[in-house]
Structure 1
Amino acid sequence: MSTKQDYEITVLFTGYSTQIEQGMLANCTCTLLKGPKLIIVDTMTAWDGDRLTEALGKHDVNRNDIDFVICTHGHSDHIGCNYLFRNAHHIVGNCISHKNTYYTFNFADNPYKIDDNVSVIATPGHTLQDVTVLVKNVNGLTAIVGDLFENEKDLEDERIWKDAGSDSEELQLKNREKILAIADWIIPGHGAKFKVNKIK
């Protein structure tokens, strides 16, 4: 049974990535966490402001009430609408800021705890500053991973995540394995949420 301390996890927009003649057509998955704090993870491109604001309104959330904006890394399709959330603390990769104040935190050694149910951990690989948001609720542990996983298909075909770009394939593989070992659900950067099938 859920409590007021639980977080409701809503994927506002499911990300995608498709090769086209000019390059790539892509946008990231954008996720809303509603609980003791209001949190948005990965804010899509700078052209998505109106539809993101509208989507939040459908969930009775005003952009001025968002407490934390967390971007799993600094690529433009993950940070584009950060400007909408002027009252929030922003975590972009392993950088934390609020307005013009920047905070020092060692993500490599410690999780950044927002509260007992939400934390941010370092998962470098796709970029060396990548982070993952871990959310505990009645459904288990959900990992919002950005481009650590492109989509569920890259579990079977590693070319998918490697072709998307990786600053360190070795670190990315290590952190993919780490998340697969602890998570019940994964929300990837460019695909639908999926359940982790644990090998007994």
Structure 2
Amino acid sequence: MYEVFVIKEGYSTSEGPGQQKACGTCTLVKGPHNIIVDTGNPWDKDTILQGLAKHDILPSNIGYVVCTHGHSDHVGNLNLFSNAIQIVSYDICVGDQYLMHDFKEGIPYEIDDDVEVIPTPGHTGADVSVIVKGTAYGTVAITGDLFECMEDLENPHLWQQSSEKPELQEQNRADILQMADIIIPGHGSMFQVPDSCKRQMQMVLLFEEFSESFQISTFSQKALE
């Protein structure tokens, strides 16, 4: 079974017009494969090392590093994990060897039966999220900036203002809300997916299925006429 620990909680605060302080969340997935998701900014080295030490893990014990996208507050300490397979957005490499994987076609990268890296573009054109199944919390989605924070469930402006592809991001957010029990966002505390979100999405899906069925029925009736 995997365990999931937030080593550093991300944040984002406005400092006035045109100014912002931000750093991405750094998460440890501990289990059959030790995984780091997002590596903070270049000034987070000591925080990451101390966080790993609390779990008796050295950087050399990390098998995979996943950076959800290429912004500097998510990729700042990749060089700590030179032994790891590194996944940065849609690129996968081991040292200077790049491995081909077609995230663009929506194909997940499976680390094992319980952990996969899935494409979730929107914030940028090549975001990924890490899905960890069977934890004590249920299914955990580590999403980077697909979700900025829990508050963006009620205030979409929080994620839309920095989205390159908002319609695509909205769809991927909806997919994650359906599959996950817990979300670890890019710039806030981990949170449980509210039941209301799942019910709302189920209603939307049921409405779409009803609409499709109605359209088919109407088409068939016209054909009979």
Q: Tell me, yes or no, whether TM beats 0.5.
A: yes
Quick check: 135-144 or 66-75, which moved more?
A: 135-144
* 1:51-62 equivalent positions in 2, closer than 5 A: 51-62=47-58
Q: Report what 1:161 is aligned to.
A: 159
Is the CA contact 2:8–2:47 (under 8 Å) kept in the aligned structure 1?
no
Which of 89, 94, 114 is residue 98 of structure 1 equivalent to? 94
How many Å separate the matches in 2 of 1:14 and 1:109? 28
How many Å separate the matches in 2 of 1:37 and 1:99? 18
1:78 shift after superposition: 0.3
* 1:28-107 equivalent positions in 2, closer than 5 A: 28-107=24-103
Once superposed, what is the RMSD of the aligned Cα atoms?
1.0
1:93-131 C-alpha deviation (Å, 9 max, x unpaired): 111001100111011331100000000100000001000
Q: Report what 2:10 is aligned to.
A: 15
Unpaired runs of 5+ in structure 1? 1-5
Moved over 3 A (4+): none
Q: Report what 1:141 is aligned to.
A: 139
Is the CA contact 2:141–2:183 (under 8 Å) kept in the aligned structure 1?
yes
The secondary structure found in structure 1 opposite 2:73 is helix
1:171 lines up with 2:168 in the alignment: yes
Is the CA contact 2:141–2:176 (under 8 Å) kept in the aligned structure 1?
yes
Is the CA contact 2:41–2:76 (under 8 Å) kept in the aligned structure 1?
yes
Which of 17, 20, 23 is residue 24 of structure 1 equivalent to? 20
In structure 2, what residue type is equivalent to 1:16? Answer: Y
**TM-score (ref. length: structure 2):** 0.84
1:197 shift after superposition: 1.6
Unpaired runs of 5+ in structure 2? 200-225
Q: Report what 1:128 is aligned to.
A: 125
Which structure: greater helix fraction? 2
How many Å separate the matches in 1 of 2:133 and 2:38? 19
**Larger Rg over CA atoms:** 2
The secondary structure found in structure 1 opposite 2:79 is helix
1:10 shift after superposition: 0.3
Is the CA contact 2:138–2:181 (under 8 Å) kept in the aligned structure 1?
yes
How many Å separate the matches in 1 of 2:137 and 2:167? 31
1:19-51 C-alpha deviation (Å, 9 max, x unpaired): 103611111111001100000000000111122
In structure 2, what residue type is equivalent to 1:195? Answer: Q
Q: How many residues align?
A: 194
In structure 2, what residue type is equivalent to 1:147? Answer: D
State percent identity of aligned pairs. Answer: 49
Q: Report what 1:3 is aligned to.
A: none
Q: Report what 2:206 is aligned to.
A: none
1:172 shift after superposition: 0.5
